[in-house]
C-alpha cells in the first residue's frame, strides 16, 4: 500500500455567530448530516458519503473563523511516531485525550507558524455512509438533500510565514508541493498547494499579514453539473456567493466560493487532476495570477486577498 | 418600509428597506468595486458608523466591532437594517471605493497599480 502516514484532512472546527442559523445552513442548505452535539455546545456534521463520525464541527462564538483542522493518520503507531518527530523538529505539541471530541481518539495538536492550529489523530468511529459494507447501493437519499457534497476535501489558510509551515508539513509529515504562485521579486511564494495523497491539494496557504485566518473550507461534488446545481441552491436559499461557478487554473477544479451565514467562506468544487509525489510542482507567476486563481475571469476579484475570517 | 440612507463623505443618498441590509442597499447603487465581503458579519470589510437614525443589527464578529464600538453606533453594514432614515460614515476596507472621487472606477484603477500583497 502506497498511501501511509498522514491520510487526509478529517475534521475542521469553525466558529459561527448564530448557532441555530448555522445548524439550518449546514444541514439543509449545504446538506451535511448532523451526527452529534457535545457538552461544550459543539454540533457535529459529516458529509453523506463519509464513513467516520464527523468532519465538520461548529460552535457559537463572538467571532467567525477556524478553530483548528485535524488530519487523520493511518495508525496509532504513526500518531506516536509523528508526535515524536514533531518534537524532535522543535515543534511544541499537546495531546488532547480521546473523547474530548465525540467518537474521536487522541489528538496531537500543534500551532503552525501561520497561526493555524493543526491536529493529527488516528481514530474516529466508523459509522458508515448509510450503506451496508456488503452489497451496497450507489447512493442514498441524503445524497440529494441540499448541496450534499461527497466529503470535506481541503482548506485554504491565510497567514504569515507560509514557508515555515510548508517545511514542517513536508519535512515531518510527508506532504509534497503540487503548485505554487511565486512572488514577483522571487523572494518566496504568495501561495502554496500541498498534498498528502493523490489529491491536487489537501491544504493550501496564502501569505497574509494576520495569522490564523481562514479563506475557505472545501467540499467535493461529483460533477460539474452538481456544481451548477449547488449554485442554484445557493440562489434559492439566498446564500452569499463570492464567485462562480467558474474554474481554477491552479488544480483545474471547477468551483464556487460562497459564505456560510457567519461569513466563513466555503467552496463546493469538482474535479481537478490527481497528483503524485514524484510530479514536478507547477509554478504560476504574479503576472498570470488572475488566470491561476480564476481561469475564466483571468483576474482576482475584490475579495480574494481581502475577505477572510 | 423604505428608508433613505445618506453617506456622509459623499452626500449620496440611497434607499433601503427594513428587510435589506445597509450593505445590500449600497450595492444596489451599482457602483463598481464595492467589495461585498462575506455578508455574514464575519470579515469586517463593510464597517460603518451610524451617525444618525434608528437601526437593528444581527450577529457580527467582535474581532471587527468591539462592544464599545457597537455602543457608539459602529456596525457591519451587512448585518444592519434601517428602522428610520439614516446617516453613516464608512470605516472599513470599502472606504477607498465608496468615498473615492469619481466613485468606484477611479478607486479600482488606482488599486491596480498597487502590489497585490502588502
Question: Mean pLDDT over residues B86-99, rounded?
Answer: 83
pLDDT of residue A2 exceeding 80, the answer is no
pLDDT band at B29 (very low <50, low <70, confident <90, very high): confident
As to burial, measured by CB atoms within 10 angstroms (0-12 exposed, 13-18 middle, 19+ buried), residue A149 is buried
Give the pLDDT confidence score for residue A227 in this predicted structure. Answer: 98
Q: Are strands A176-182 and A282-285 parallel, antiparallel or unpaired?
A: parallel
Is residue B12 within 8 A of residue B49, CB to CB? The reply is no
Asked if A158 is an active-site residue, the reply is no
Interface contact A140, partner B, CB < 8 A: no
> The domain that contains B7 carries what CATH number?
3.10.20.30
pLDDT of residue B117 exceeding 60, the answer is no
pLDDT of residue B94 exceeding 80, the answer is no
Q: Which of residues 160-179 of A touch B (CB under 8 A)?
A: none
Q: Is the peptide bond prior to A245 cis by the omega test (within 30 degrees of 0)?
A: yes
The per-residue pLDDT for range B51-82, each reduced to its tens digit, is 999 999 999 999 999 999 999 999 999 999 99
The SS3 assignment for A34 reads strand
Residues in chain B, total: 118
Give the pLDDT confidence score for residue A141 in this predicted structure. Answer: 96
Give the pLDDT confidence score for residue B108 in this predicted structure. Answer: 42
pLDDT of residue B32 exceeding 90, the answer is no
pLDDT band at B28 (very low <50, low <70, confident <90, very high): confident
Q: Which of residues 288-307 of A touch B (CB under 8 A)?
A: 289, 300, 302-303, 305-307
pLDDT band at A4 (very low <50, low <70, confident <90, very high): very high
Residue B96 lies in a domain: yes
Asked if A121 is an active-site residue, the reply is no
Asked if the Cβ–Cβ distance from A306 to B93 is below 8 Å, we say yes
Q: What percent of chain B has pLDDT over 70?
A: 81
The per-residue pLDDT for range A219-278, each reduced to its tens digit, is 999 999 999 999 999 999 999 999 999 999 999 999 999 999 999 999 999 999 999 999
A244: alpha, beta or left? (left if phi > 0; alpha if psi -120 to 50): left
Residue B77 lies in a domain: yes
The per-residue pLDDT for range A62-105, each reduced to its tens digit, is 999 999 999 999 999 999 999 999 999 999 999 999 999 999 99
Residue B16 lies in a domain: yes
Is residue A254 within 8 A of residue A231, CB to CB? The reply is no
Is residue A151 within 8 A of residue A47, CB to CB? The reply is yes
The DSSP H or E segment spanning B106 is: helix B104-111
Residue B89 lies in a domain: yes
Give the pLDDT confidence score for residue B113 in this predicted structure. Answer: 39
pLDDT band at B31 (very low <50, low <70, confident <90, very high): confident
Give the pLDDT confidence score for residue B102 in this predicted structure. Answer: 53
Residue B118 lies in a domain: no
**Cα–Cα distance for residue pair A153/A210, rounded to 1 Å:** 24
Residue B116 lies in a domain: no
Asked if the Cβ–Cβ distance from B61 to A263 is below 8 Å, we say yes
Residue of A nearest to B61 (CA): A63
pLDDT of residue B103 exceeding 80, the answer is no
Residue of B nearest to A65 (CA): B42
Chain A partners of B61 at a C-beta cutoff of 8 Å? 17, 62-64, 262-263, 309
Give the pLDDT confidence score for residue A302 in this predicted structure. Answer: 81
pLDDT band at B109 (very low <50, low <70, confident <90, very high): very low
Domain residue limits at B24 = 2-111
Give the pLDDT confidence score for residue A180 in this predicted structure. Answer: 98
Given A62, A263, A302, which is nearest B40 (Cβ)? Answer: A263
Give the pLDDT confidence score for residue B107 in this predicted structure. Answer: 41
d(CA B51, nearest CA chain A) in Å: 24
Is residue A62 within 8 A of residue A68, CB to CB? The reply is no
Residue B103 lies in a domain: yes
Residue B32 lies in a domain: yes
Q: Which residues of B80-105 are buried (b: 16+ CB within 10 A; e: fewer)?
A: bbbeeebebbbbbbbbbbbbbeebbe
Give the pLDDT confidence score for residue B33 in this predicted structure. Answer: 62
The per-residue pLDDT for range A156-190, each reduced to its tens digit, is 999 999 999 999 999 999 999 999 999 999 999 99
Asked if the Cβ–Cβ distance from A263 to B41 is below 8 Å, we say yes
**Cα–Cα distance for residue pair B9/B99, rounded to 1 Å:** 6
Q: Which of residues 196-235 of A touch B (CB under 8 A)?
A: 207-209
**Number of alpha carbons in the 13 Å side-chain half-sphere of residue B16:** 30
Domain count, chain B: 1
The per-residue pLDDT for range A15-72, each reduced to its tens digit, is 999 999 999 999 999 999 999 999 999 999 999 999 999 999 999 999 999 999 999 9
Catalytic residue chosen out of the listed positions A116, A201, A208, A215: A201
Give the pLDDT confidence score for residue B101 in this predicted structure. Answer: 60
DSSP B67-111: HHHHHTTEEEGGGEEESS-EEEEE-STTHHHHHSTT-HHHHHHHH
Asked if A201 is an active-site residue, the reply is yes
Residue of A nearest to B38 (CA): A263
Full set of structural domains in chain A with CATH: 6-131 (3.10.180.10), 151-293 (3.10.180.10)
What 8-state DSSP symbol labels residue B34? Answer: -
Asked if the Cβ–Cβ distance from A302 to B40 is below 8 Å, we say no
d(CA B59, nearest CA chain A) in Å: 6
Given A18, A263, A306, which is nearest B35 (Cβ)? Answer: A306
The per-residue pLDDT for range A108-141, each reduced to its tens digit, is 999 999 999 999 999 999 999 999 999 999 999 9
Asked if A154 is an active-site residue, the reply is yes
* Interface predicted TM-score (ipTM) of this complex, two decimals: 0.86
Q: Is the dihedral of CA B23, B29, B35, B38 positive or negative?
A: positive
Amino acid at each position: 500500500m502506497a498511501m501511509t502516514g498522514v491520510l487526509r484532512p478529517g475534521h475542521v472546527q469553525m466558529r459561527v455567530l448564530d448557532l441555530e442559523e448555522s445548524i439550518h445552513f449546514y444541514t439543509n442548505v449545504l446538506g451535511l448530516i448532523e451526527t452529534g452535539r457535545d457538552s461544550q455546545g459543539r454540533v457535529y456534521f459529516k458529509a453523506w458519503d463519509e464513513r467516520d463520525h464527523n468532519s465538520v464541527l461548529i460552535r457559537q462564538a463572538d467571532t467567525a473563523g477556524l478553530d483548528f483542522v485535524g488530519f487523520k493518520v493511518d495508525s496509532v503507531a504513526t500518531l506516536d511516531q509523528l508526535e515524536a518527530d514533531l518534537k524532535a523538529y522543535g515543534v511544541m505539541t499537546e495531546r488532547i485525550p480521546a473523547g474530548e471530541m465525540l467518537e474521536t481518539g487522541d489528538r496531537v495538536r500543534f500551532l503552525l507558524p501561520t497561526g493555524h492550529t493543526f491536529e493529527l489523530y488516528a481514530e474516529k468511529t466508523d459509522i458508515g455512509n448509510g450503506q451496508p459494507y456488503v452489497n451496497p447501493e450507489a447512493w442514498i437519499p441524503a445524497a440529494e438533500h441540499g448541496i450534499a457534497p461527497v466529503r470535506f476535501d481541503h482548506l485554504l489558510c491565510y497567514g504569515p510565514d507560509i514557508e515555515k509551515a510548508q517545511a514542517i508539513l513536508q519535512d515531518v509529515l510527508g506532504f509534497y508541493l503540487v503548485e505554487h504562485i511565486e512572488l514577483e521579486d522571487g523572494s518566496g511564494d504568495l501561495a502554496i498547494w500541498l498534498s498528502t495523497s493523490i489529491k491536487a491539494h489537501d491544504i493550501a496557504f496564502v501569505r497574509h499579514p494576520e495569522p490564523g485566518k481562514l479563506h475557505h473550507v472545501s467540499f467535493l461534488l461529483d460533477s460539474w453539473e452538481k456544481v451548477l446545481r449547488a449554485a442554484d441552491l445557493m440562489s434559492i436559499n439566498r446564500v452569499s456567493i463570492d464567485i462562480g461557478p467558474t474554474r481554477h487554473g491552479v488544480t483545474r477544479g471547477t468551483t464556487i466560493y460562497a459564505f456560510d451565514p457567519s461569513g466563513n467562506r466555503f467552496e463546493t468544487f469538482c474535479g481537478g487532476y490527481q497528483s503524485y509525489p514524484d510530479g514536478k510542482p507547477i509554478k504560476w507567476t504574479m503576472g498570470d495570477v488572475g488566470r491561476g486563481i480564476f481561469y475564466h475571469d483571468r483576474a482576482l476579484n475584490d475579495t480574494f486577498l481581502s475577505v477572510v475570517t | 418600509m423604505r428608508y433613505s440612507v445618506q453617506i456622509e463623505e459623499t452626500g449620496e443618498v440611497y434607499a433601503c428597506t427594513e428587510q435589506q441590509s445597509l450593505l445590500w442597499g449600497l450595492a444596489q447603487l451599482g457602483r463598481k468595486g464595492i467589495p461585498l465581503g462575506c455578508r455574514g458579519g464575519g470579515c469586517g470589510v463593510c464597517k460603518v458608523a451610524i451617525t444618525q437614525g434608528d437601526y437593528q443589527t444581527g450577529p457580527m464578529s467582535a474581532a471587527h466591532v468591539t462592544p464599545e464600538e457597537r455602543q457608539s453606533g459602529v456596525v457591519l453594514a451587512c448585518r444592519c437594517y434601517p428602522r428610520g432614515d439614516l446617516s453613516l460614515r464608512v470605516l472599513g476596507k470599502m472606504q477607498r471605493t465608496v468615498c473615492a472621487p469619481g466613485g468606484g472606477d477611479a478607486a479600482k484603477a488606482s488599486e491596480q497599480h498597487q502590489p497585490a500583497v502588502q
